Amino acid sequence: MIRQLIAASGALIAVVASPLAPTALADDGQVVMLQSGKVRCAVSADNMDRGGGPMVVCELSNGQPWGMSPWETSKYNARLNLAIVRATGEHYWDRGRITGSDASAAGGLSVNDGQTYNLYGWTIHSDGFRTRITNDATRHGLLVTEGYVRQF
């Protein structure tokens, strides 16, 4: 009888306390379309999918790798299609997809020539043939076109 009472009390406490428990604050960031929609980047203040911290993840909208992207070292040796830069300046390549098929579906925005946006501590400036994405605190970032990605 006592065991049933304790079990019922525990279950009641769990049911009452679960809505009061704080949910994890995951930052999905913002999807941004660059270069007339040919490049898609996810700008985030804390991207937990890739280890946390402020970062920008860019891919070509057609899903293909950039011409200078390296080959992965797995059994099937495909080219890595995601260019990633952290606020610390670390740049690396990975394989995968950015969530959301396009900016409108992901609630994203499109950066056109001459426009500047500030998102999550990053400044995005498009000056025609390339887009500069700079972390406001560290000044590290990426230069992005549909043909190449370069870290600075």
| pLDDT above 70 for 103 | no
| pLDDT above 80 for 7 | no
Residue of higher predicted confidence among 13 and 24: 13
Q: Where are the domains of the chain?
A: 25-151
Residue-level pLDDT at 151: 92
CA distance 37 to 112: 9
| pLDDT, average across residues 47-73 | 87
Residue of higher predicted confidence among 77 and 19: 77
Residue-level pLDDT at 28: 65
Residue-level pLDDT at 27: 54
Q: What is the pLDDT of residues 105-145, one digit of tens each?
A: 445 688 888 899 999 999 999 988 899 999 999 999 999 99
Residue of higher predicted confidence among 85 and 106: 85
- Whether residue 144 contacts residue 131, with contact meaning beta carbons closer than 8 Å, is answered with yes
Residue-level pLDDT at 99: 73
Tokens of 129: 């043939």
Residue-level pLDDT at 16: 40
| pLDDT, average across residues 23-39 | 74
CA distance 31 to 85: 15
Residue of higher predicted confidence among 52 and 90: 90
Name which of 98, 124, 92 is nearest 29 in CA terms.
Answer: 98
CA distance 76 to 20: 47
Could you tell me the pTM of the whole model? 0.74
How big is the chain by its Cα radius of gyration, in Å? 21
Average pLDDT, the chain: 80
